[in-house]
């Protein structure tokens, strides 16, 4: 009997140790994020000494005007938008993968990015504003409206009887092709100037960051995260399979619909602001899964943090590769991220998918 | 003590009627009950209907327990999430609760159920690494960790070796005895049923043909009716009942005998 007791407590101890290890990982990711944001703010076409940069951040009143503008109005919004957008896209991807039981699900692969690009192109090429009241914001608003329409279409179809997870994923892929074709058609007829604008937009860029965009994306994260957190156990259970989750009393269908709605919002807004940054929604969650497993208590914050770290680090890279120039971030995420990602999966491949 | 009774329970998938007027006398807890029937007789459907996953006419009457005290273990035990066995059992325990923290009592409950089903050594293993039989044992532990008062298990021993089958059935029997729970197991091995289960429900083409003490239900005539197999039920030299298969009956299963 004593052997049994020792054995039992050792499992609880192992569990506690596992929790501590994962909390440490989350803490390290947070540290990494802070570091990356600091580097991001200090880097840029204009070179300022690191000390001056921090003085400007913490005591903006004392800094000279030009530096204050560069740091506060340009670099800080950009660096923070990388964080909120990275976290949003990664969280959206994580929960899409969870509820659709598909490792490839992401805002990009389900057609949300393609729809947003189409919406943006409508504004840039045709000058069509889906919300005529705010013409100056017609590019992000169009992009948002189309992304939301695409995800609501997927959402609506998934409420139909007999629609399985596979159907939803296939439908998403069909949407990608449809919107890409429509976009190509528009580009074919576009003026040279509009064409350049569309191409640049679809590459994804943080350079048009403002405090307003940071606030909107942060607010959406603040609304969605607790809603997911409250369903952490149910969302983890869904990964065991639909029948098993249902057997545990999880209302699978309702949970899937609720999550899909939140995910639509989480993905559509960032995409409207920064264009196509496809990679984060797939890699962020996978990195978090490899580091932390799929217990949503850790996976949920982990996915957000890893997405934020990746996009923030990419933002640093996009400035560091060509000194004096800021490369479109969507290109860097794919170019640098893909080999890194492949190495990660191949070396630490768990059989979880 | 918990008990369960069905009154004219029906279920359908779309237009297809699966269960017709399924009624039983009071099924008492504290012992194992078997649910037997050929493939596609409606065993899983009956479980899902009792578990509330399917709707339909009729009444599932449960006394001595709340509806939330029910756990249903589906036949499909595929689990591929990046979780350890220990975490997967915590998951089953914490389902429906909001809190993220685990109390020492909850951890003790997880330890106890691992021990009860002899899978202590699997605690820290990842789910995708498990064999079919191990997954089945983990499923059983997940099902019972909340100590439910009504347990429905769809072929809980189908992937287990002979020793583990015996061990698991014995553990389930003790669980029922301790908690007074109604434990219904869908099983195919009738010798297993005769050895372990006090009561048996026989299901054919969505109708309950008989409910009662196992040996009274499992007569050669009923076995022929259920499975289309000619058999004898005899006593072994130590007195335990055994079914001996003689061969297929002239009527294949599913065909109405005597019509």
Q: Mean pLDDT check: name the lowest of A167-181, A256-270, A336-350, B25-39.
A: A336-350
Out of B95, B123, B128, name the one closest to residue A248 (CB).
Answer: B95
Q: Do A247 and B71 touch (CB under 8 A)?
A: yes
Instruction: Select from B91, B103, B175, B184 the least CA-distant residue to B139.
Output: B91
**Closest residue, chain A, to B100 (C-alpha):** A297
Mean pLDDT over B220-246 rounds to 90
Average pLDDT, chain A: 87
Q: Does B69 touch chain A (CB under 8 A)?
A: no
Strands, sheet with B199-204, edge to edge from the N-terminal-most edge strand = B70-73, B150-154, B182-186, B32-36, B199-204, B207-213
Residue B81: enclosing H or E segment and its boundaries?
none
Q: Do A232 and B87 touch (CB under 8 A)?
A: no
| Per-residue pLDDT tens over the stretch B206-216 | 999 999 999 99
Q: How high is the pLDDT of residue A227?
A: 95
Whether B256 is in a domain gets the answer no
Q: How high is the pLDDT of residue A9?
A: 65
Whether B62 is in a domain gets the answer yes
Confidence bin at B123 (pLDDT 50/70/90): very high
Give the separation between CA A17 and CA A107, rounded to whole angstroms: 35
Q: How far is CA A274 from CA A120, A207, A306, B211, in A?
A: 11, 8, 18, 66
Residues with Cβ within 8 Å of A298's Cβ and at least 6 positions away in sequence, in order, are A22, A23, A25, A26, A292
Strands, sheet with B27-28, edge to edge from the N-terminal-most edge strand = B27-28, B3-7, B59-63
Q: What b/e readout covers A177-213, taking b as 16+ CB neighbours within 10 angstroms?
A: eebbebbeebeeebeeebbebbeebbbbbbeebeeeb
pLDDT higher than 50, residue A237: yes
Q: How high is the pLDDT of residue A350?
A: 53
Q: How high is the pLDDT of residue A110?
A: 85
Percentage of chain A beyond pLDDT 90 is 39
Residue corresponding to tokens 């407590």: A9
Q: Does B82 touch chain A (CB under 8 A)?
A: yes
Mean pLDDT over B125-142 rounds to 92
Cβ pair B80, A353 in contact under 8 A: yes
Cβ pair A170, A147 in contact under 8 A: no
Name chain B contacts of A232, Cβ cutoff 8 Å: 100
Name chain A contacts of B143, Cβ cutoff 8 Å: 247
Q: How high is the pLDDT of residue B254?
A: 54
Whether B253 is in a domain gets the answer no
Give the separation between CA A110 and CA A150, rounded to whole angstroms: 9
Residues with Cβ within 8 Å of B259's Cβ and at least 6 positions away in sequence, in order, are none
Instruction: Select from A158, A117, A126, A133 the least CA-distant residue to A268.
Output: A117
Cβ pair B206, B196 in contact under 8 A: no
| Per-residue pLDDT tens over the stretch B75-116 | 877 787 889 999 999 999 999 776 899 999 999 999 999 999
Whether B211 is in a domain gets the answer yes
Q: Do A352 and B128 touch (CB under 8 A)?
A: yes
Termini Cα distance of chain B: 41
Q: Give strand ranges (E) for chain A.
A: none
**Measured CA angle at A261 (ends A27, A329), to 5 deg:** 55
Instruction: Select from A256, A302, A254, A215 the least CA-distant residue to A27.
Output: A302
Burial class, A298, CB count within 10 angstroms (exposed 0-12 / middle 13-18 / buried 19+): buried
| Per-residue pLDDT tens over the stretch A106-120 | 888 888 889 988 998
Percentage of chain A beyond pLDDT 70 is 96
CATH number, domain containing residue B161 = 3.40.50.300
HSE-up (13 A, CA, CB side) for residue A219: 7
**Closest residue, chain A, to B136 (C-alpha):** A244
- Tell me how close the Cα of B222 comes to any Cα of chain A, in angstroms: 31
Complex ipTM: 0.84
- Tell me how close the Cα of A117 comes to any Cα of chain B, in angstroms: 34
Q: Do A240 and B114 touch (CB under 8 A)?
A: no
What is the pairing mode between strands B3-7 and B27-28?
A: antiparallel
Q: How high is the pLDDT of residue A154?
A: 83
- Tell me how close the Cα of B120 comes to any Cα of chain A, in angstroms: 8
Q: Mean pLDDT check: name the lowest of A86-100, A310-324, A331-345, B209-223.
A: A331-345
The number of folded domains in chain B is: 1
Whether B78 is in a domain gets the answer yes
Mean pLDDT over A227-237 rounds to 94
Strand partners for B230: B247
Cβ pair A336, A317 in contact under 8 A: yes
Mean pLDDT over A238-253 rounds to 87
Confidence bin at B44 (pLDDT 50/70/90): very high
Q: Is A351 helix (H, G, I), strand (E, B) or coil?
A: coil
- For B134, the domain range is 3-248
Q: How high is the pLDDT of residue B140?
A: 94
Q: How high is the pLDDT of residue A2?
A: 39
Handedness of CA A176, A281, A278, A73 (dihedral sign): positive
Q: Do B82 and A352 touch (CB under 8 A)?
A: yes
Q: How high is the pLDDT of residue A50?
A: 81
| Per-residue pLDDT tens over the stretch A141-150 | 898 899 889 9
| Per-residue pLDDT tens over the stretch A32-65 | 999 999 999 988 877 788 888 888 888 888 888 8
HSE-up (13 A, CA, CB side) for residue A136: 0
In the stretch 108-167 of chain B, residues with CB closer than 8 A to chain A read 108, 110-112, 114-115, 120, 123-124, 126-129, 139, 142-143
Q: Do A240 and B104 touch (CB under 8 A)?
A: no
pLDDT higher than 90, residue A320: no
Q: Is A173 helix (H, G, I), strand (E, B) or coil?
A: helix
Confidence bin at A5 (pLDDT 50/70/90): very low
Please give the DSSP secondary-structure letter assigned to residue B256. P
pLDDT higher than 60, residue A229: yes
Q: How high is the pLDDT of residue A166?
A: 81
Whether B185 is in a domain gets the answer yes
Mean pLDDT over B34-56 rounds to 91
Give the separation between CA A346 and CA B148, rounded to whole angstroms: 42
């Amino acid at each position: 009997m004593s052997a049994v007791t020792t054995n039992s407590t050792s499992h609880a101890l192992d569990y506690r140790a596992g929790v501590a290890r994962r909390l440490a990982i989350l803490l390290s990711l947070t540290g990494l994020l802070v570091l990356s944001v600091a580097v991001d703010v200090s880097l840029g076409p204009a070179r300022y000494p690191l000390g001056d940069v921090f003085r400007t951040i913490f005591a903006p009143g004392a800094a000279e005007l030009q530096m204050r503008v560069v740091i506060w109005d340009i670099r800080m919004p950009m660096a923070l938008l990388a964080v909120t957008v990275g976290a949003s896209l990664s969280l959206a991807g994580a929960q899409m993968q969870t509820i659709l039981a598909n490792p490839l699900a992401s805002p990009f692969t389900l057609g949300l990015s393609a729809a947003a690009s189409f919406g943006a192109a409508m504004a840039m090429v045709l000058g069509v504003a889906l919300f005529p009241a705010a013409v100056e914001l017609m590019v992000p608003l169009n992009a948002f409206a189309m992304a939301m329409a695409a995800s609501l279409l997927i959402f609506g179809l998934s409420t139909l009887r007999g629609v399985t997870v596979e159907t939803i994923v296939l439908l998403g892929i069909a949407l990608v092709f449809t919107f890409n074709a429509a976009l190509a058609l528009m580009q074919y007829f576009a003026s040279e100037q509009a064409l350049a604008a569309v191409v640049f937009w679809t590459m994804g860029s943080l350079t048009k960051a403002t405090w307003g965009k940071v606030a909107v994306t942060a607010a959406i994260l603040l609304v969605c995260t607790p809603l997911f957190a409250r369903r952490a156990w149910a969302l983890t259970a869904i990964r065991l399979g639909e029948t098993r989750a249902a057997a545990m009393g999880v209302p699978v269908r309702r949970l899937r619909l609720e999550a899909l709605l939140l995910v639509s919002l989480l993905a559509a807004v960032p995409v409207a602001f920064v264009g196509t940054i496809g990679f984060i929604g797939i890699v962020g969650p996978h990195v978090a899964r490899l580091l932390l497993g799929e217990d949503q208590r850790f996976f949920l914050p982990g996915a957000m943090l890893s997405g934020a770290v990746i996009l923030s680090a990419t933002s640093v890279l996009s400035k560091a590769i060509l000194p004096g120039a800021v490369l479109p971030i969507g290109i860097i995420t794919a170019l640098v991220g893909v080999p890194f990602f492949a190495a990660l999966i191949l070396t630490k491949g768990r059989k979880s998918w | 003590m918990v008990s369960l009774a069905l009154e004219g329970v029906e279920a359908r998938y779309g237009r297809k009627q699966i269960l017709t007027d399924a009624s039983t006398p009071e099924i008492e807890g504290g012992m194992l009950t078997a649910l037997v029937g050929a493939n596609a007789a409606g065993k899983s459907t009956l479980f899902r209907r009792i578990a509330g996953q399917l709707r339909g006419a009729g009444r599932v009457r449960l006394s001595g327990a709340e509806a939330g005290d029910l756990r249903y273990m589906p036949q499909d035990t595929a689990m591929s999430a990046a979780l350890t066995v220990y975490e997967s059992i915590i998951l089953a325990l914490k389902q429906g609760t909001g809190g993220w923290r685990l109390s020492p009592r909850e951890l003790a409950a997880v330890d106890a159920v691992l021990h009860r089903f002899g899978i202590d050594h699997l605690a820290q293993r990842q789910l995708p690494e498990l064999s079919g039989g191990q997954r089945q044992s983990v499923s059983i532990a997940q099902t019972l960790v909340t100590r439910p008062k009504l347990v429905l298990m769809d072929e809980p021993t189908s992937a287990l070796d002979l020793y583990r089958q015996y061990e698991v059935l014995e553990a389930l029997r003790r669980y029922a005895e301790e908690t007074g729970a109604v434990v219904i197991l869908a099983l195919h091995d009738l010798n297993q049923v005769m050895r372990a289960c006090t009561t048996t429900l026989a299901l054919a083409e969505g109708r309950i043909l008989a409910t009662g003490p196992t040996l009274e239900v499992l007569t050669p005539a009923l076995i022929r009716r259920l499975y289309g197999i000619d058999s004898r039920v005899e006593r072994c030299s130590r007195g335990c009942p055994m079914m001996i298969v003689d061969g297929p009956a002239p009527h294949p299963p599913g065909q109405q005998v005597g019509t």
